[in-house]
Amino acid sequence: MAKFERKGKKELQQISTASLPDIVFMLLFFFMVSTTMRETTLMVRAQLPEATEVNKLEKKSLVSYIYIGPPTKQLQAIFGTEPRIQLNDSFKTLDDIRDFIAAEREALKEEEKPLLTTSLKVDKDTRMGIVTDVKQELRKASALKIVYAARKAE
Amino acid sequence: MARKVPEVNASSTADIAFLLLIFFLMTTTMNVDTGLTRMLPPMPDPKQKQEDVEVKRRNIFTVLINKSDRLLVRGEPMEVSMLKEKTKEFIMNPNNDPNLAEFEERELPKLGMYRVSKGVVSLQNDRGTSYDMYMKVQNELVAAYNELRNDLSMSVYGKPYGKLSKDEQEVISKAIPMRISEAEPKNVGGK
């Protein structure tokens, strides 16, 4: 029967890729909306401790970060393994914290200045000595609202 | 007859979109910042005369952490796992134990006269205490307060504390004020 006759070698039907850009754009928008820009490159290892009673930080623009921990592997040759303080993109000493807080406060709007929050991202193997020093400096700079950054434990 | 406009080749839009996608994947982070919120005490004014606030011994719940991460609670060694229950017992003092926190009657909206605990948790740590341990203890202390607030809010409003409105939360937090004080650091022990 002619109906079922094989017409020689049939070529494979090409899959239409017309919708591929749409799919990729959808993914792109998802990531653009749900993520935030990385602001600083971490120069210290800050593996956060776990806690169950954590709450979310609401306004990210009000938060300034202080990282404390041992320098990362690549930087250990230069800076050693003692825990250090990182503000913005470089290692700083305790005396720089006051200037840092002043600068962060200056960047905020007048009505938001008292709401400035300092997030301490401290490596969990750090000793409390350096953290206490930082806290004393923050008290001197009267940046009293602090957050001990922690991961949420399940 | 209108001439047909030649179709633009759109096959490269996928490549462009992929490029953008990869760029955003590399430069952005998704982590949500979480943590324990705390207020530091303001620096004492050096001009002003230091007047010691007298707090009765029975109203203080001292928690000491030494440099080998051991706990000393009110003069007795303790495990971290016990800390939450002990703190709750201290604050609420259900059996009116003369060694645990005192109360003062206070008029509160919705609750009427409520016995507000006068207890203060005082946390002291050594310079050699590990941050991990410090956070564990902080977490347990906050957990104790949170559980008490939750219990009260469940019995008054029938909802957990986190689901209450701002005003309702204020009532509860006035009934159970979170008093965790961190002592002035003392330099004891080595690094």
The domain in which residue A62 lies consists of: 50-152
Count contacts between A and B (CB, < 8 Å).
Answer: 151
- On whether any CB of chain A is under 8 Å from the CB of B169, the answer is no
The structural domains of chain B, with segments of one domain joined by +, span 57-182
Classify residue A10: in a domain, yes or no.
no
More reliable by pLDDT, A10 or A34: A34
Q: For residue B52, what pLDDT is reported?
A: 61
Cα–Cα distance, A115 to A63 (Å, whole number): 9
Residue in chain A nearest B11 by alpha carbon: A18
pLDDT over 80 (residue B149): yes
pLDDT over 50 (residue B190): no
> Where do we find the tokens 């400096």?
A137
- C-alpha distances in angstroms, A45 versus A92, A104, A108, B46, B111? 15, 23, 28, 37, 48
Which of B1-15, B34-48, B75-89 has the highest average model confidence (pLDDT)? Answer: B75-89
- On whether any CB of chain A is under 8 Å from the CB of B166, the answer is no
Classify residue A132: in a domain, yes or no.
yes
The pLDDT mean for chain B works out to 82
Classify residue A82: in a domain, yes or no.
yes
pLDDT over 60 (residue A50): yes
Say whether B131 and A125 touch across the interface (CB within 8 A).
Answer: yes
Q: What is the pLDDT of residues A114-132, one digit of tens each?
A: 888 899 999 988 888 888 8
What is the total count of domains within chain A? 1
Classify residue A140: in a domain, yes or no.
yes
Average pLDDT over residues B77-89: 88
pLDDT over 60 (residue A2): no
Among B21, B30, B146, select the one facing A27 at the smallest CB separation.
B21
- On whether any CB of chain A is under 8 Å from the CB of B8, the answer is no
Among B135, B143, B191, select the one facing A148 at the smallest CB separation.
B135
Taking CB atoms and an 8 Å cutoff, what residues of chain A touch B14?
Answer: 17, 20-21, 24
- On whether any CB of chain A is under 8 Å from the CB of B14, the answer is yes
Percentage of chain A lying above the pLDDT 90 cut: 3
Q: For residue B171, what pLDDT is reported?
A: 85
The pLDDT mean for chain A works out to 84
Cα–Cα distance, A18 to A15 (Å, whole number): 9
Residue in chain B nearest A142 by alpha carbon: B42
Q: How confident is the model at residue A8 (pLDDT cuts 50, 70, 90)?
A: low
Average pLDDT over residues B125-153: 89
Task: Provide the chain B residues 72-131 that lie in CB contact (below 8 A) with chain A.
Answer: 125-131
Q: For residue B183, what pLDDT is reported?
A: 72
Residue in chain B nearest A124 by alpha carbon: B132
Q: DSSP secondary structure string, A87-153?
A: ETTEEE-TTHHHHHHHHHHHTS-GGGGGG-EEEEEE-TTSBHHHHHHHHHHHHHTT--EEEEE-EEP
Say whether A17 and B27 touch across the interface (CB within 8 A).
Answer: no
- C-alpha distances in angstroms, A28 versus A17, A94, B24, B26? 17, 41, 8, 12
CATH of the domain at A87: 3.30.420.270
For A28, the token pair is 């792109």
Q: For residue B191, what pLDDT is reported?
A: 39
